[in-house]
């Protein structure tokens, strides 16, 4: 069985929004699972109901769209055994043949054979997702299947919808201008992950049917949603039960204590660093971009002046924590 075509790329924006609200797309499944750093289940729930508008565009998203074709072309140069389709026949909204609520819009559909063989009669053999990244956090070596979990969810969801057993993710790393290609297979681990994902998606859509939102969480997207749902303040009081108050007060005390512990650790590190820009871990080394073993950086001290026209003139002096296994060039081990 092949995926069902729901909307072509030429469909109006209103049609896309209406169709997407009826299911869970590949770009949304990580949010449903609480794995997205930019979104939350609570926020997505209210957007699906139409209570809140869709997420605003950002420079990062715009840049990713702009570079998508470049990344796809670089992938094509490395994998000439495939040809892909795009546009009205490719960039479209598809649904699983048996689960119409399971939706996906692959960046590219990959086919075997010559691109001159048109019209295409055989189904796609894989999906291709194109990404850009400003860091290597969560990414494995070129040719592996080690990618951030939110992207793994996205590609597996697309594979499931399109009924293919392979998925590729090509990522352009902006700081190093390197392209890495990752391949996911529909192995037993992937099948188990998909079972979890489908169950979570069905439960989420069930909440929409009965109008019961997911629990609020700590994510900034949830905070923004609560502010948007209640933009004004009324001069009245709201009675709340004891447990939320106990948790809130305990969290405030723990937060203050954690801040103090962090400042103490920072000050101890500042004392050891003196005027040094970098703090490096004694006896620990990583490999930089040139393949040279260099000391592992723990923290970096930044000192710079802020001009009057930006905000009140001042000097910023901050200690920046550096991810474990990072050199001074920013390369992870």
- The answer to whether the pTM exceeds 0.85 is no
User: Above 60 in pLDDT, residue 89?
Assistant: no
Residues 6+ apart with CB under 8 A from 273: 279, 299, 301
User: Above 80 in pLDDT, residue 326?
Assistant: no
Tell me the pLDDT tens digit for each residue of 103-151: 999 999 998 865 555 556 678 899 999 999 988 888 999 999 999 999 9
Identify the CATH number of the domain defined by range 4-227. 3.90.320.10
Nearest-CA neighbor of 6 among 125, 99, 100? 100
Instruction: Judge contact between 316 and 285, C-beta under 8 A.
Output: no
Nearest-CA neighbor of 21 among 208, 197, 222, 226? 208
Nearest-CA neighbor of 169 among 150, 188, 187? 150
Q: Inter-axis angle of helices 41-48 and 220-229, to 10 degrees?
A: 40
Residue 36 to residue 196: CA distance in whole angstroms: 16
Residues 6+ apart with CB under 8 A from 13: none
| C-alpha angle 85-63-13 in degrees, rounded to nearest 5 | 60
pLDDT of residue 87: 46
Q: How is residue 73 written in tokens?
A: 């072309």
For 64-83, letters b (16+ CB in 10 Å) and e give: beebbeebbebbbeebeebb
Residues 6+ apart with CB under 8 A from 195: none
Residue 168 to residue 71: CA distance in whole angstroms: 12
pLDDT of residue 58: 72
Q: Which residue has the higher pLDDT, 198 or 311?
A: 198
User: Above 50 in pLDDT, residue 88?
Assistant: no
Percent of the chain surpassing pLDDT 90? 56
Q: What is the mean pLDDT of the chain?
A: 87
Tell me the pLDDT tens digit for each residue of 208-262: 999 999 999 999 999 999 999 998 888 898 898 999 989 989 999 999 999 999 9
Residue 332 burial (CB count, 10 A): 16
For 269-305, letters b (16+ CB in 10 Å) and e give: eeeebeeeeebbeeeeebebeeeeeebbbbbbbeeee
Nearest-CA neighbor of 94 among 33, 14, 223, 4? 4
């Amino acid at each position: 069985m092949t995926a069902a075509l729901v909307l072509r790329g030429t469909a109006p924006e209103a049609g896309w929004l209406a169709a997407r609200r009826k299911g869970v797309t590949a770009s949304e499944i990580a949010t449903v699972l609480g794995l997205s750093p930019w979104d939350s289940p609570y926020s997505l729930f209210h957007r699906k109901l139409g209570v809140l508008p869709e997420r605003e565009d950002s420079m990062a998203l715009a840049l990713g769209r702009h570079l998508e074709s470049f990344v796809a072309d670089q992938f094509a140069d490395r994998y000439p055994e495939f040809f892909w389709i795009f546009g009205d026949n490719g960039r479209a909204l598809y649904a699983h043949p048996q689960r119409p609520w399971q939706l996906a819009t692959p960046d590219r559909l990959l086919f075997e054979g010559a691109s001159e063989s048109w019209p295409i009669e055989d189904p796609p053999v894989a999906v291709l997702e194109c990404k850009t990244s400003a860091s290597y956090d969560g990414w494995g070596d070129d040719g592996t299947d080690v990618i951030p979990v939110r992207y793994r969810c996205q590609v597996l969801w697309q594979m499931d919808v399109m009924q293919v057993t392979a998925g590729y993710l090509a990522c352009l790393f902006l700081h190093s201008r390197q392209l890495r290609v990752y391949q996911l297979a529909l192995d037993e681990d992937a099948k188990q992950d998909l079972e979890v994902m489908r169950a979570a998606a069905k439960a989420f859509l069930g909440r929409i049917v009965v109008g019961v939102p997911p629990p609020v969480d700590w994510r900034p997207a949830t905070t923004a949603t609560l502010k948007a749902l209640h933009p004004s303040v009324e001069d009245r009081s709201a009675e709340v039960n004891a447990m939320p108050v106990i948790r809130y007060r305990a969290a405030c005390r723990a937060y203050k204590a954690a801040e103090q512990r962090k400042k103490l650790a920072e000050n101890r590190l500042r004392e050891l660093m003196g005027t040094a820009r970098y703090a490096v871990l004694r006896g620990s080394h990583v490999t930089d971009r040139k393949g040279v073993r260099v000391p592992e950086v723990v923290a970096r001290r930044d000192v710079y002046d802020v001009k009057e026209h930006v905000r009140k003139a001042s000097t910023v002096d901050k200690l920046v924590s550096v991810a474990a296994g990072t050199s001074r060039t920013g390369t992870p081990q």
